[in-house]
């Protein structure tokens, strides 16, 4: 019996050397220095070379906890591993994963979801561009998306920052290699593109029209009969509607040799076309493969 008491006392003495547990006004401090617990903490653990180890278990173990208290924390070792807390009630547990650091796809079952209107923003304080990148493991694929929504019973409006009408801005998508695509604004209910109208005045003789960022051009007046020899600023797939409202005849010149190749107009029958003034309408499309404007 004496040996047992001696051993017990020795164990208590050794424990006291490594751990000092101090109680002040119902606050408890666990440390190796006997430090006073913080007044706002029920349990204050202090150490410079050790951490706090919470219960570690599998997802099945976590699911088998009977009536887990709200706020109960465990560390799950399998599946989407990490710290989980019960955000529900003991009767209806709702285990929530606490994620620290980069978010892995395996950590999220169905995306970030909220029950109220929430703003997800990339912000900074220097007005420099921020990026939201949606990447696939390879450099190619068909599953890239910028905006995605579930089926709706009405149109969805994405509101973009205002731009001055005089700047003639369009929505632009640019790749990292410098290639770009210009998207026309349209209405989701009809699918009809909204074209930006530009009115121009021309002189007589050979005429070149700037088609950069334009889709609908009206020639309102002309100094005399004129030859349309080229459009500048074409992008692959760009469509252009040209209306001659002047009272002067317009000749669309096929493959005019005085202009650069990428600005020339190509007609189906390789011959010039004369259109009388008044209300003539012509449509063109830019063929980036052949670097030509084609008359439709």
φ, ψ for residue 199, nearest 5 deg? -95, 135
Mean pLDDT of 188-217: 77
**pLDDT: is 253 or 197 the higher one?**
253
Exposure of 265 by Cβ count < 10 A (0-12 exposed, 13-18 middle, 19+ buried)? buried
pLDDT for position 150: 54
- pLDDT band at residue 235 using 50, 70 and 90 as cut-offs: confident
CA 266 to chain centre: 39
Q: Which two tokens stand for residue 139?
A: 């450099």
| Contacts with 61 (C-beta within 8 Å, 6 or more apart), sequence order | none
Q: Does the structure show a pLDDT above 60 at 55?
A: yes
With pLDDT > 90 as the criterion, what percentage of the chain qualifies?
33
Between 106 and 37, the more confident residue is 37
Report residue 231: phi and psi, to 5°: -120, 140
Look at residue 119 and tell me whether its pLDDT is greater than 60: no
- Model pLDDT, residue 191: 37
Write down the mean pLDDT value for the chain. 74
- Mean pLDDT across the stretch 109-122? 52
Residue 228: closest CA among 248, 208, 258: 208
Rounded to an integer, the average pLDDT of 36-54 is 88
Element (H, E) at 198: strand 197-202
Tokens 């909220």 correspond to 114
pLDDT tens digits for range 58-78: 999 999 999 999 999 999 998
- Distance between CA atoms of 69 and 39, rounded to whole angstroms? 25
Q: Which of 27-31, 126-130, 191-195, 264-268 has the largest mean confidence? A: 264-268
pTM above 0.95, yes or no: no
Confidence class of residue 9 from pLDDT cuts 50, 70 and 90?
Answer: low
Contact 293, 264 (CB under 8 A): yes
Q: Averaged over 157-176, what is the pLDDT?
A: 55
Residue 19 predicted with pLDDT over 60: no
């Amino acid at each position: 019996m004496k040996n047992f008491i001696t051993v017990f006392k020795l164990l208590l003495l050794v424990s006291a050397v490594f751990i000092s547990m101090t109680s002040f006004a119902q606050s408890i401090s666990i440390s190796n220095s006997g430090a006073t617990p913080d007044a706002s903490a029920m349990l204050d653990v202090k150490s410079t070379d050790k951490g706090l180890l919470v219960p570690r278990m599998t997802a099945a173990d976590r699911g088998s906890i009977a009536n887990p208290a709200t706020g109960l924390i465990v560390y799950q070792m399998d599946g989407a591993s990490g710290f989980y807390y019960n955000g529900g009630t003991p009767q209806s547990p709702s285990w929530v994963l606490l994620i620290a650091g980069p978010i892995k796809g395996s950590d999220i079952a169905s995306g970030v979801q909220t029950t109220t209107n929430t703003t997800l923003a990339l912000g900074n304080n220097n007005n420099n561009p921020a990026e939201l990148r949606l990447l696939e493991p390879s450099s190619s694929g068909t599953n890239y998306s910028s905006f995605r929504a579930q089926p709706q019973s009405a149109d969805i409006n994405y509101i973009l920052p205002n731009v001055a009408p005089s700047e003639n801005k369009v929505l632009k998508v640019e790749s990292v290699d410098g290639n770009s695509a210009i998207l026309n604004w349209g209405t989701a209910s009809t699918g009809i593109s909204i074209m930006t109208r530009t009115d121009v005045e021309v002189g007589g003789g050979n005429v070149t029209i700037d088609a950069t960022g334009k889709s609908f051009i009206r020639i309102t007046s002309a100094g005399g009969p004129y030859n349309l020899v080229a459009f500048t600023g074409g992008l692959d797939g760009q469509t252009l509607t040209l209306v001659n409202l002047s009272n002067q005849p317009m000749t669309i010149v096929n493959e005019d040799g005085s202009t650069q190749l990428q600005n020339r107009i190509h007609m189906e029958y390789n011959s010039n076309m004369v259109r009388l003034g008044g209300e003539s309408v012509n449509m063109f499309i830019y063929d980036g493969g052949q670097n030509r404007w084609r008359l439709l």
